[in-house]
Amino acid sequence: MSAPPSPPPILELDHVGKVYPGAVPTRALEAVTFSVRAGEFVAIVGASGSGKTTLLNLLGLLDSPSEGRISIDGRDVTGLGPDDAARLRRDRMGFIFQFHYLLPEFNALENVLMPCRLAGDGRDLREEGRVRSLFARVGLASKIRRRPDQLSGGEQQRVAILRALANDPLLILADEPTGNLDSRNAAEVFNLLRDITRESHRTVIMVTHDRDLAAKTDRVITLRDGRMESDVVVADRQEPQ
């Protein structure tokens, strides 16, 4: 019996390039081509100036490529207008940054539910039960009413991870999510991000300088001077049942 066909990629880049205009135009990316399957955890690594942040901005539809094509869930998103791009980010993506960017006047639960509330369709009320279970999953059930300044750095970043998961996104983009933490908290936060997204079969693209953490993902893409230098599968793993 033949194996069933593989599902289409969640994310595809086809010869994507980015040039910033100026008196002397600056090429930040050139001919970047790869695809990502649902449920993969992919690390993007490279020296400063290699194009990592530019690439993440393009994937998050915060910028547009100068050439090439980007598809998300089979949809060509290369030329989306600002309103359509904003809706796609809101409904299908989660973002995690080096700094937690929690709103200081809101408690942890309110911060996590904020992306749902911004949807304006009562989604925050519908998702509150699921979000509360996520707080329990990460050991913060007793701290949902605390404001960000009443949480430790590691706890703040865990809340930021939950915020990225609040809308049950198709794709999570993480920009140095452990870069502002000490080594112990960095390992704990990374392990949580990896485990909780695997449990929910979410796709993660993570930019990091930490090669040790990158080695714990499914796949490592290395950029050098705006080009893909390598694309290495770290280890085959059993897909969630």
Q: Which domain holds residue 210?
A: 38-65+77-233
Cα 37 to Cα 41: distance, rounded to the nearest angstrom: 9
Q: Both tokens of residue 121?
A: 């369709």
Considering the domain boundaries, does residue 164 fall inside one?
A: yes
* Residue 32 placed within a domain: no
The beta-carbon contacts of 183-186 under 8 Å, at least 24 apart in sequence, are: 185/152, 185/153, 185/154, 185/157, 186/210, 186/213
Mean pLDDT of 180-198: 85
What value, to the nearest 5°, has the Cα angle with vertex 63 and ends 60 and 65?
105
With H, G, I as helix, E, B as strand and everything else as coil, classify residue 113: helix
**CB atoms near residue 25 (< 10 Å):** 9
Give domain status of residue 241, yes or no: no
Structure tokens at 8: 């289409």
Residue 85 lies in a domain: yes
Better-predicted residue by pLDDT, 198 or 206: 206
CATH number for position 175: 3.40.50.300
Measured CA to CA, the distance from residue 143 to residue 63 in angstroms comes to: 36
Domain count, the chain: 1
Measuring CA to CA, which residue among 140, 156, 152 is closest to residue 103?
156
pLDDT value of position 225? 94
User: Does residue 43 belong to any structural domain of this protein?
Assistant: yes
What's the pLDDT at 2? 54
User: Is 61 inside any structural domain?
Assistant: yes
Enter the tokens of residue 84: 């359509």
- At 9-59, the pLDDT tens digits run 999 999 999 999 989 889 999 999 999 999 999 999 999 889 999 999 999
pLDDT per residue as tens digits for the range 84-128: 999 898 888 999 988 888 999 999 999 999 888 877 766 667 778
Confidence at residue 236, expressed as pLDDT on a 0 to 100 scale: 54
In a domain? residue 239: no
What confidence score (pLDDT) does residue 167 get? Answer: 84
Q: What is the pLDDT of residue 240?
A: 42
Whether 86 is covered by a domain: the verdict is yes
